Amino acid sequence: MAHADSLPRPLPLAEPRRRGRFRLPSSYTLVLAGVLLLLALPLVATLGYALASRWGATLLPEGLTLAWFLELWATPRFLAAFGRSLLISVGALALSLALILPVAVLAQTRYPHLDHWMNTLILMPFAVPPVVSSVGLLQLYAGGPLSLVGTPWILILTYFTIALPFMYRTLANSLRAMNVVELMEAAQLLGASPFRAFFLVILPNIRAGVQIAIFLSFSFLVGEFVFANMLVGTRFETLQVYLNNMRGASGHFTSALVITLFTVTLVLTWLGARQADYTPKEASR
Amino acid sequence: MKGPRLPAWLGLAPFALAFFAFQVAPMLWVAVSAFRVEGDWGLDHFREIAASPFFRQAIWRSLEISLVSSVLGLTIATLACQAMTRSNARLRRVMISFTNMTSNFAGVPLAFAFIILMGANGVLTLALERLGIVEEIRLYSTSGLIVVYTWFQIPLGILLLFPAFAGLKDEWREAASLLGAGRLAYWRHVGLPVLRPALLSTFTVLVANAMGAYATVYALVNTSFNLMTIRIANLVAGDLFLRPDLASALALVLVILLVGITLIQRAILPRSDTHGTR
Amino acid sequence: MSHAAPNSALTSAPGSAPASPATGGENALHLSGLAKCFDTTPVFQEIEADIAHGEFITLLGPSGCGKSTLLRAIAGLTLLDQGRIRVGGDDITYLPPQRRGVGMVFQHYALFPNMTVAGNVAFGLRMQRVEAGERARRVEEVVRLVELTDQAHKFPQQLSGGQRQRVALARALVVEPRVLLMDEPLSALDARIRRHLRDQIREIQRSLGLTTLFVTHDQEEALLISDRVFLMHQGRILQQASAETLYSRPVDKAAAGFMGHYNLLEAPQAEPLLGYRSGAARVALRPEALYLSVEGRTLGGDPPPHMGPARPGVVRRQRLLGNIVRYEIEVDSLSLSVDTLNRSVRTQLAEGTRVAVQADLDEVQELCA
């Protein structure tokens, strides 16, 4: 190897590279590619089906079209279900915010023990499956003075428990991050009443936290099926119940519906995540 | 300072009332009515569940599908997390956003996507049949449901496990290698023992998640597949034979199973957890 | 194992294997032509060094100078681009970390959180499949050496920082490495514990006769602990010398700049103070090599025999640093640092005081670069 001698670099250390670490990243990449493919498969198939004019006898779809989406968006029953889902979600979010925000503020300002309690309480909605809760809710609110089953009201009230864990954590965290107690005291020393201090000082500062809580809870609620189907069903058909009732329809049509629902969820989580990305930077400025 | 008292009480009461009425009360009602037998108290409903092959099958299938899909989901999530800690930052970011995205894809839409993919006329089914790889795919069987459940366990497992994997310090691996440990020895003596609490608690969450799952399986097979959640729902909201007390008993069995799984995890954990708080 | 470490090293009496600064010996470390780049940026290059068996070497340099990467390359944790590493007669350049016989103590301890103190220390012996009885004996011995016998059953999280670092030291020592590497092992500890552990490390190293490479950015630590200091700057070793030489005869501007509060002067600037024109490009004057006098009386004791001409100056600033006072004196439009011993508060010079400045000609360092 005469030419090697003339090189300025005396020791090309290729040997340990080949033996040691440099072959392994490719196997890691393979694992990740496999997992990505596995997770993407149902989504890609559904998207393909929603955009295909026909996809039966062939390996790949025949012809692309937006016809299924156009048909979906011209269907009155879908639009009505969309409206109902929005109505219930917005109602539930407004109710949750009104119920949870005072508790979060009190826990972060006056009663530190309350925060401890709340962190335990908010595990309950996780621990009890919705099917189990439904059994009790159906019996408790099916008749008598509080006849809520079959009306949108029971969903608005029950969805509060779904939004609770996430909303409380997010609000409590953003309150803790800004040191509410000192800010409230400072505002009051400058002559603001506690209520004015809250609305003028605290609320604007936790706006990002409130927005994250709202967007992400929104995406849970739009995707909720168990309570909607068991407590109300077709009497006030939401998007998820509508999708379930469309099982007899064309697969292309339901695919377009699935993709639409998924896009709505993604947009909501994206809006929430965008807020989450902004908050730390704003705080550090 | 008498002023602030009143608003504090006013702020807490509505929340407490709503939480009690829609979270605690339904649970209490289930716990109580499970023991109500025609206006009296008794264990008749539990005896009926224990004696019925139908209900016993529902319980066993729920456990089987939950445990198998959790083991599969946890294994794949573990491999993915390990690969993520060693991969470059860009691929890692892609993985995290993608798992976040797919963890939102659940319930009815997921069931429909799998019908499109692997149903009797599904895209993958037809493709594989044409290529002669499989005779048929049976999505509406136990193994079909395990595939669907595993699919939604993977993103959840990755999201729960990755922080623990990210907490494994490179220095531990380096220190172990200087002390003579190869890759396998490192994982056996350091990596896995350190991850054990996270693996166990993630497994518990996955099992609970699968045991309580209802929307996906209901949209897939309606009431024709025998699982606990399907049976419970059918006893209170089915077309015929509404038996809310029996539904409560079965719901209580489900809750007891979930609590039991958590207790087993707690019982295994403390020994390894004495050092685990970082 | 690929290397034959002296099995009796731990049991030998303290001081029986003193450091000898001669090159060579069974565990001498030879580095020749080491170089490493990340992408196209060189991290270190042209590293040449011979470290004798039992010698304690400190790699001193500012952060980012490449000293930690060099240490990791010697351990086999980072791949080299060029060069050879030899321990004794054995070339370890291509060996994986497991087979180098090199021990390492990390800045943040890197203790295994799932194992007790004893478990951490025993780990290396388990990997060597040392039989259980022998293992327990050697663990006990090393744990006693670092004075942690009472803590042996505890987990790392239950120990203080100083104790954790002693566990890390014991873990590295128990396998009897041929070379011990320490990567800023004291920098995460508070000052009092740092001093104590520093002395303890040196004592143990001396008693075991361990060839040791110690990385730090703290010059006081480097000067007090080492046989020799390797001063690193921008990926190169500027100077390899004893602490004394390094401090009194820095090889160039960068070395002088890092080693203390030298006054660095261009030759023409220094001429009035020295009374002659230096042949070198620059001269360095330590603050304590300059003397101040007020009204003919010299501060801080008797003046040395060979003094340069007295130059008039004005006190611009004064700071009390323990038992010395550091003055900033304006002389011929230059600003000089001058240290004097602080005998009493009354002798301190107020800002604006007119003084005469003289240099001790025997302490003038001439720099080429």
Chain segment C78-117, per-residue pLDDT in tens:
999 999 999 988 999 999 999 999 999 999 999 999 999 9
Say if residues A139 and B29 touch (Cβ distance below 8 Å).
yes
Residues C83, C212, single domain; the answer is: yes
Going by C-alpha positions, the residue among B221, B232, B237 that lies closest to residue B59 is B232
Q: Could you identify the residue written with the tokens 């740092």? A: C194
Residues C243, C283, single domain; the answer is: no
DSSP reduced 3-state for B13 = helix
pLDDT tens for residues A27-72? 888 999 999 999 999 999 999 999 988 776 666 777 788 889 999 9
A282 has a pLDDT exceeding 50: no
In this complex, the residue of B116, B155, B255 whose CB is nearest that of residue A45 is B116
Which of C72, C77, C78, C94 to mutate to probe the A interface, most A CBs <10 Å? C94
A16 has a pLDDT exceeding 60: no
Contacts of C163 (CB under 8 A, 6+ apart): C148, C151
B221: part of which helix (H) or strand (E)?
Answer: helix B215-221
> Of C163 and A202, which is predicted with more confidence?
C163
> Of A11 and B121, which is predicted with more confidence?
B121
Give residue C14's pLDDT: 39
Residue C95's domain is classified under what CATH number?
3.40.50.300
Give residue B271's pLDDT: 53
Chain C residue with CA closest to A17: the answer is: C79
In this complex, the residue of C102, C114, C115 whose CB is nearest that of residue B178 is C102
Sequence letter at residue C253: K
* Termini Cα distance of chain A: 61
Residue B167's domain is classified under what CATH number?
1.10.3720.10
DSSP-derived letter for residue C2 is: -
Going by C-alpha positions, the residue among C287, C295, C244, C227 that lies closest to residue C49 is C227
Check C82 against A13: CB less than 8 A apart: yes
- Can you list the pairs that C317-325 forms with residues at least 24 positions away whose Cβ atoms lie under 8 Å? C317/C351, C318/C348, C318/C349, C318/C350, C318/C351, C320/C348, C324/C288
Farthest CA pair distance, chain C: 78
Tens digits of pLDDT across chain B (278 residues): 334 445 677 889 999 999 999 999 999 999 999 999 888 899 999 999 999 999 999 999 999 999 999 999 999 999 999 999 888 888 898 999 899 889 889 899 999 999 999 888 888 888 888 787 777 778 888 999 999 999 999 999 999 999 999 999 999 999 999 999 999 999 999 999 999 999 999 999 999 999 999 999 999 988 788 999 999 999 998 776 789 999 999 999 999 999 999 999 888 876 544 444 33
| Encoded tokens for A123 | 């595990």
In a domain, B181, yes or no: yes
Chain A residue with CA closest to C76: the answer is: A16
Contacts of A4 (CB under 8 A, 6+ apart): A12
DSSP reduced 3-state for C191 = helix
C254 has a pLDDT exceeding 50: yes
pLDDT tens for residues C268-292? 888 888 888 877 777 888 888 888 8
CATH architecture, range A70-283: Orthogonal Bundle (1.10)
pLDDT tens for residues C175-208? 999 999 999 999 888 888 888 899 899 999 999 9
Closest-CA distance, A77 to chain B, in angstroms, reads 18
Residue C307's domain is classified under what CATH number?
2.40.50.100
In this complex, the residue of C99, C110, C114 whose CB is nearest that of residue B175 is C110
Contacts of B181 in chain C (CB under 8 A): 98, 123, 127
Range of the domain at B122: 29-276
**Sign (positive or negative) of CA dihedral B262, B268, B271, B277:** negative
In a domain, C237, yes or no: yes
In a domain, C20, yes or no: no
Q: Could you identify the residue written with the tokens 């504090």? A: B8
Show which of C257, C274, C289 is a domain's final residue: C257
Contacts of C74 (CB under 8 A, 6+ apart): C29, C31, C85, C102, C179, C181, C213
Tell whether B181 is within 8 A of chain C (Cβ). Answer: yes
Residues C222, C156, single domain; the answer is: yes
C239: part of which helix (H) or strand (E)?
Answer: strand C236-241
Q: How many CB pairs under 8 A join A and B?
A: 231
Q: How many domains does chain B have?
A: 1
Instruction: Tell me the whole-structure pTM to 2 decimals.
Output: 0.79
CA angle B76, B80, B82 (to 5 degrees): 120
pLDDT tens for residues C30-53? 999 999 998 888 999 999 999 999
Residues C35, C98, single domain; the answer is: yes
* Rounded Cα–Cα distance for residues C86 and C75 (Å): 12
Check C110 against B180: CB less than 8 A apart: no
* Rounded Cα–Cα distance for residues A187 and A191 (Å): 7
* Rounded Cα–Cα distance for residues A216 and A6 (Å): 64
pLDDT confidence bin for C13, thresholds 50/70/90: very low
Range of the domain at C319: 261-367
Chain A residue with CA closest to C46: the answer is: A9
Chain A residue with CA closest to B233: the answer is: A131
Residues C179, C33, single domain; the answer is: yes
Farthest CA pair distance, chain A: 99
> Cβ atoms within 10 A of the Cβ of C183, count?
22
Give residue C22's pLDDT: 43
* Rounded Cα–Cα distance for residues C138 and C125 (Å): 9
Span A115-138, mean pLDDT? 92
Task: Report the percentage of chain A scoring pLDDT > 70.
Answer: 86
Closest-CA distance, A278 to chain B, in angstroms, reads 17
* Rounded Cα–Cα distance for residues A93 and A280 (Å): 24
Angle at which helices B123-130 and A24-51 pack, to 10 degrees?
A: 110
Sequence letter at residue B131: L
Say if residues B199 and B78 touch (Cβ distance below 8 Å).
yes
Chain C residue with CA closest to B278: the answer is: C157
Surface of B (87-146) touching A: CB under 8 A: 87-88, 91, 94-95, 98-102, 104-110, 112-117, 121-124, 126-127, 130
Closest-CA distance, C214 to chain A, in angstroms, reads 26
Check C75 against B178: CB less than 8 A apart: yes
Which of B22, B75, B151, B223 to mutate to probe the A interface, most A CBs <10 Å? B22
Check C123 against B181: CB less than 8 A apart: yes
C247: part of which helix (H) or strand (E)?
Answer: helix C243-248
- Can you list the pairs that C322-328 forms with residues at least 24 positions away whose Cβ atoms lie under 8 Å? C324/C288, C326/C261, C326/C287, C327/C292
Which of C2, C102, C109, C114 to mutate to probe the B interface, most B CBs <10 Å? C114
Residues C252, C267, single domain; the answer is: no
pLDDT confidence bin for A12, thresholds 50/70/90: very low
DSSP reduced 3-state for C61 = coil
Strand C211-216 to C179-183 pairing: parallel
Residues C110, C150, single domain; the answer is: yes
* Rounded Cα–Cα distance for residues B228 and B248 (Å): 12
Judged by phi (left if over 0) then psi (alpha if -120 to 50, else beta), residue C48 lies in: beta
Q: How far is CA C253 from CA C116, C248, C266, in A?
A: 48, 13, 11
In this complex, the residue of A57, A129, A230 whose CB is nearest that of residue B254 is A129
Give residue B272's pLDDT: 46
Contacts of C34 (CB under 8 A, 6+ apart): C44, C45, C46, C47, C48, C70, C73, C80, C82, C83, C84, C85
Q: Could you identify the residue written with the tokens 């979600």? A: A89
**Numbered residues of chain C with Cβ closer than 8 Å to any chain B Cβ:** 72, 75-77, 96-100, 102-104, 106, 108, 110-115, 123-124, 126-128, 155-157, 168, 171-172, 175
Contacts of B115 in chain A (CB under 8 A): 251
Give residue C282's pLDDT: 77
Going by C-alpha positions, the residue among C351, C307, C357 that lies closest to residue C331 is C357
Contacts of A137 in chain B (CB under 8 A): 22, 26
In a domain, C12, yes or no: no
Check C113 against B278: CB less than 8 A apart: yes
| Encoded tokens for A180 | 């509410």
Say if residues C115 and C123 touch (Cβ distance below 8 Å).
yes
| Encoded tokens for B103 | 């963890």
Say if residues A95 and A160 touch (Cβ distance below 8 Å).
yes
| Encoded tokens for C275 | 């009374």
Task: Report the percentage of chain A scoring pLDDT > 90.
Answer: 48
Check C79 against A13: CB less than 8 A apart: yes
Give residue A7's pLDDT: 34
Which of A13, A18, A21, A22 to mutate to probe the C interface, most C CBs <10 Å? A13
Sequence letter at residue B148: V
Q: Could you identify the residue written with the tokens 């009472």? A: C150
Angle at which helices B5-19 and A152-177 pack, to 10 degrees?
A: 130
The complex's ipTM works out to 0.88
Contacts of A123 in chain B (CB under 8 A): none
Contacts of A15 in chain C (CB under 8 A): 94
Angle at which helices B244-273 and B25-33 pack, to 10 degrees?
A: 110
Q: How many domains does chain C have?
A: 2
In this complex, the residue of A29, A157, A223 whose CB is nearest that of residue B107 is A223
Q: Where exactly does CATH 1.10.3720.10 map onto chain A?
A: 70-283
Say if residues B72 and B203 touch (Cβ distance below 8 Å).
no
| Encoded tokens for C326 | 């550091």
In this complex, the residue of A9, A17, A20 whose CB is nearest that of residue C82 is A9
In terms of Cβ atoms closer than 10 Å to its own Cβ (0-12, 13-18, 19+), residue B100 is middle
A121 has a pLDDT exceeding 50: yes
* Rounded Cα–Cα distance for residues A227 and A155 (Å): 7
